[in-house]
Homo-oligomer: A and B are copies of this chain.
Amino acid sequence: MANSDKRRQPKYQQIADALKEAIRTGEYAPGDRLPGENDLMATYEVARMTARQALGVLQSEGIAEARKGVGVFVRVFQPLRRQGIKRLSAGQWGSGRSIWSADIAERVLVVDQVDVVEAPAPARVAEVLGVDPARPVCVRSRRFVLDGKPVLLSSSYLPVDLVARSAITEEDTGPGGTYARLAELGHKPVHFREEIRSRMPSQDEADRLRLSAGTPVMLICRTAFAEDGRAVEVNEMTLDSASYVLEYDFDA
């Protein structure tokens, strides 16, 4: 049964399945170079195009990635564990730690691009913040890099009347970051909503995150609410899906 199914599959799919099985059993470990087109042509007696298609299947499924001029390698998935709830607890930012440090244990996540401007927010963000979409808000755009690889783009939007003349309008927001400053300004975040989607990246996102082919992005849109129910920040994040696991822990 399984055999006759196999025979009905195109040859490149059969080769791709054999490679996947070899990865599953550990014959090829994460980071290993897979057989090249010439190897596959010889082993399976197929044309170059068939060998290329087989390797293409593994790349489009995100199991392997091509390095230009070197070969196709089994993808290494050592994700950042982003703990959505623990990381935003007041104990975390209340004590002056960055909310990001909860993710990374000994791994060093650094900001390599910061841009703080006043500009209009996207319409959907202006609506959540309850501000006039034609008026500027404070926009903090950052790129985060892990082990030299960009993993996260973040754009944080805050109402200008809330944050004017505070450290939130500067590149370095100081200990505890934006949320500690909002607390000092009397707008302490007490509730969060995170909405998660996934899609393929735009060319610009793929370039900025240096994504290999077949890698989607995860989008997190976080809204922070103050005690009076006002939305005080909207943060739109774009994550390299090959670099992240999102974790939410909660009681029934």
Residues on A facing B (Cβ under 8 Å):
13, 57, 60-62, 79, 84-85, 88-90, 188-203, 214-218, 241-242, 244-252
What's the number of copies of this chain in the assembled complex? 2
Extra 18 A-B pairs, beta carbons < 8 Å, given A194-B248, A199-B216: A61-B199, A61-B201, A62-B200, A79-B197, A84-B250, A88-B250, A88-B252, A90-B252, A192-B249, A193-B247, A194-B247, A196-B196, A197-B241, A198-B218, A199-B241, A216-B216, A248-B248, A250-B250
B13 contacts A247, CB within 8 Å? no
CB proximity of A121 to chain B, nearest CB, Å: 15
Please, could you name 9 A-B residue pairs with CB atoms under 8 Å apart, sorted by A?
A13-B203, A85-B248, A85-B250, A195-B245, A195-B246, A196-B245, A197-B241, A218-B218, A248-B250
Contact of A249 among B191, B246, B252 (CB under 8 A): B191
List, in ascending order, chain B residues with CB within 8 A of A189's CB.
Answer: 252
> How far is it, in angstroms, between the C-alpha of A38 and the C-alpha of B252 when the chains are bound?
56
